[in-house]
Structure 1
Amino acid sequence: MKVLCILAVLFLISTKHKSFELSHPKPACRYPPSQWCRSLEIAIECKVRALAPNQTVPRVALTLYYESLCPDCRRFITKQLFPTWTMLQDIMSLTLVPYGNAKEVLSVNSPFSCQHGEPECRGNMIQACIIHLTGTSLAFQVIYCMESAANVLNAAEPCLQLYAPSVSWAAVDACVTGRLGYKLMHGYAVMTRALNPAHTHVPWVTIDGVFIFPLKMKPPVCTGAPVKLSRSGCLTE
């Protein structure tokens, strides 16, 4: 039931936003998705239904394999996953893997090559270090802030200061430029290579270890057409 709930919300949000530009669509109510469950009054106005989570049932493990500069990944994070997580984080266990179509290479300058170039490698490692230093819950808010910005890399430091002020940018930079950042990225490389079936594009989503995105069929509780992504610029080369 929890899996169906998460899939339903992903579908309802995706079919609601028929345009996938990075600019924010006009909401159905006066509040953004992150505020829908702030109070009963807001929930009523935005027509949100919420159920108290059953603590005896394990959380649904959702893992997102993505790249920091991939346009389709940015759209999925900002328009589908973050609003879904905001409403259903009590029943979700989220894992973020900022690696995607990157490759480990033998190079003096950098042990990784990324589909969208060196800036994406840096963006991936910044987000990996933020996840390590803050934990997934705070990190996802920082990452959402970054991916919503016009320039992902330039937004990293102000987004960190906004959502995780207890973590210094110096600590993130030390992680990125030191051995820890490379160790974290190697771990993500191992996780990505272990996918079965192997990923063919990003964003790549698994629920409880099973690949589900893009969805081939709708859950029974959903209505509307399945989401379709252009995947422009994010196919495995």
Structure 2
Amino acid sequence: MPQSQIPNEKSLDIDLKLYIDEDLSTEEYPSSSDEDSGEEYHIQFYYESLSVKSWLVYTFFIGPLAAIQDSRITIETFPYGIAKTYRKGQGYKFKCEHGPEECYGNKLHACVLHLLQNKTEAILFNLCLMNKQSNNAAVDECAQERYGLAGSIKECAKSRLGSRLLKHYGDESEKVDYEQVPYILVNGESSYVKMAQTNRYINNIKKKLLNLRRITEAVAPKN
């Protein structure tokens, strides 16, 4: 992602509320503490690798959520976005909103999810990619000294396996039928009520652990 496209800190604080926050003062929202309710949260996050808005929500919501590693929260990510899949011989070709670079970036994300069996590790690895333009250089930097991992991810993305994985995420995305990304479902619902409940629960956890900025810094790759 070109550095010039990344919003400044002030705009992040404003834009983030459009995705994960709502006014909890009305009667529409339950007043009980979500931290003590025992409710489990299944988060499904639909995004694309070169979208500034996807980067925003991944960095300040999905990444910190994964880093918390709370047993009540499960996260699924779907790297496809506003894209199309076409048959090409025995394989597939793709058209992505931000061009071929994004299609390849989406394949890299899909391959990470396939190769890293630890879901939290895979989500945080892709967070690293999101912060470094989701290209081959990003894979090398995020893999660091993990022998063979960078090569395996890039080999996967360039192969038919990478195309099959991206088609899979395209098929799953079509089931949801969103009109824009990022798109989030919480326990199968896209309502802001559920989003607000989840965000309030996260805020309760953060008070006992670290604030959002410190969590983000903790999972960010070291230069």
The verdict on how the C-alpha distance between 1:188 and 1:145 changes in structure 2, with shifts beyond 3 A counting, is: same
Partner in structure 2 of residue 122 of structure 1: 104
Q: Offset of 1:93 from its aligned partner?
A: 1.1
Does residue 19 (structure 1) correspond to residue 11 (structure 2)? The answer is: yes
Richer in helix (by share): 2
* Aligned with 1:199 (options 178, 194, 200): 178
User: Unmatched 5+ residue regions in structure 1?
Assistant: 1-16, 22-50, 223-237
Give the residue type in structure 1 aligned to 2:12: F
Partner in structure 1 of residue 65 of structure 2: 84
Does residue 152 (structure 1) correspond to residue 134 (structure 2)? The answer is: yes
The verdict on how the C-alpha distance between 1:107 and 1:62 changes in structure 2, with shifts beyond 3 A counting, is: same
User: Unmatched 5+ residue regions in structure 2?
Assistant: 1-8, 14-34, 201-223
Give the TM-score normalised by the residue count of structure 1.
Answer: 0.62
Q: Which of the pair has the greater relative contact order for Cα pairs under 8 Å at 6+ separation?
A: 2
Q: Offset of 1:167 from its aligned partner?
A: 5.2
Identical positions, percent: 25
Runs of 4+ in 1 over 3 A off after TM superposition: 106-110, 215-222
The verdict on how the C-alpha distance between 1:155 and 1:189 changes in structure 2, with shifts beyond 3 A counting, is: same
Can you list the C-alpha shifts for 1:42-80, whole angstroms capped at 9, x where unaligned? xxxxxxxxx7x99xx684211100000000000111122
Do the aligned partners of 2:108 and 2:134 also contact (CA within 8 Å) in 1?
Answer: no
The verdict on how the C-alpha distance between 1:120 and 1:218 changes in structure 2, with shifts beyond 3 A counting, is: same
Q: Offset of 1:141 from its aligned partner?
A: 1.2
Can you list the C-alpha shifts for 1:3-40, whole angstroms capped at 9, x where unaligned? xxxxxxxxxxxxxx75328xxxxxxxxxxxxxxxxxxx
Pairwise mapping of residues 70-109 of structure 1 onto structure 2 (< 5 A)? Answer: 70-87=51-68, 89-107=70-88
Give the TM-score normalised by the residue count of structure 2.
Answer: 0.65
The verdict on how the C-alpha distance between 1:118 and 1:110 changes in structure 2, with shifts beyond 3 A counting, is: farther
